[in-house]
Chain A
Amino acid sequence: MTGEIMMRKRRAGLAGLIAGALILSGSALAQQPVNDPFEGFNRAMFAVNEGLDTVAIKPIAQAYDFVTPLPVRAGVGDFFGNVLDVRNVLNNTLQGKLSDAGVDLGRLLINSTIGIFGLFDVASELGLQRHDEDFGQTLAVWGWEDSSFLFWPLVGPRTVRDTGGLIVDIYTDPTWYMINKSVATRNSLVALRFIDVRASLLPSDKVVDEAALDKYAYVRDAYLQRRRNQIFDGSPPRLEDVLD
């Protein structure tokens, strides 16, 4: 069985997939443009997520989007953005990008004080741009560049590397540390952030629905392209051009 057929098999059983993944050698994978040996599992999870999204998550996000005035939305986004700057400082430092880490630390200090606990993004107004980094990107910079794609319900698209990165990100995320104070507060904050992020994606729903021949493949390839862009801080090397 060639790797190609293996990768393309839409409804292969999980056992077959795991066996297939073990058979596939590194070189067979390298010939494939997309690193997705768990495609059967991923497509099943994608379908579960689409179902959850349609019946529950998207309607809640739409209601939230409808009732929340723009200044409040901006405040919520800025608040969680400020929390994320903790992660950015940490991961910029781990990647040796010390000047970026310094800027993000400055952002954190300014927004947490003058910006009233992060409700206003004063630092951006002052021209201090955020450098978005997470532990998945740090692992990539440390050498784990290529990683198999995984799709999780609720969490959405990831790779094996980024799934590990996410676990570390949760451990270093101040929102989750609210557990020391109050479980209810923490849960409310995590839920609010989840719905806020989903709501911010509402305008792109129709774009993806109408653009994709195969929505799963479109979402997967978009995620992998976006991560590559993030890992190279916005300027990834160009892929070869067939016309050249």
Chain B
Amino acid sequence: MLIKRLLEIFGTNAQSKTKRGEIICKECNFIYANTFDECPDCKYMKILTDRSFDELSENLRVIRTIRGARAIKAAKEMGLKLIELRAEVSDQFKVKYKKKKDKLTGKIITIGDYRADHHDSWRYKTVVDWTSRNPSKFFSPFAAYIVPKDLKSGERVLINDVITNHVSGSWNQGDVYRLSKSEATWNGRGFVIDVGSYAIGDIIG
């Protein structure tokens, strides 16, 4: 019984990581970086099995994005209408961060603002010093929008995960943000992204 329990605890965990610290998904065996909260391949497969395709947000139809060859192949098999685009990595984007561990609670916090980095070494230990990540880097270069078959040319929609790269805003501490969510108009062949709809910098609402 004890051995079985120990195998449950340590056995599965031992199988779920590679020597380089990457994680092996228990469901699909996809290997992904440990910076992801969940298996990205499974995440996009779930979008396909989630049946709420007629979701509305802010009175606009929500367009779903799938990423990864597996989800795209599955979507085609399901007969969904797709606009396939390549997810390019652009060096123009950078979002800086620092990770600190609270010595009292053990909680790790992430800060993104130099002004929030107080001289508080008595309480916080630096886990990752100031560094930046590129928000245009995704786990796969394959991406597609799922287009509702009854979408009419000129209809305005909301895209929660924009595939093409657009600058959302920049900040005087050096960060350049990528537009991840945006309103767009379907022109019959593709989505025309309205960058101003969700751009940041001067936020009103």
Q: Tell me, yes or no, whether A binds B.
A: no
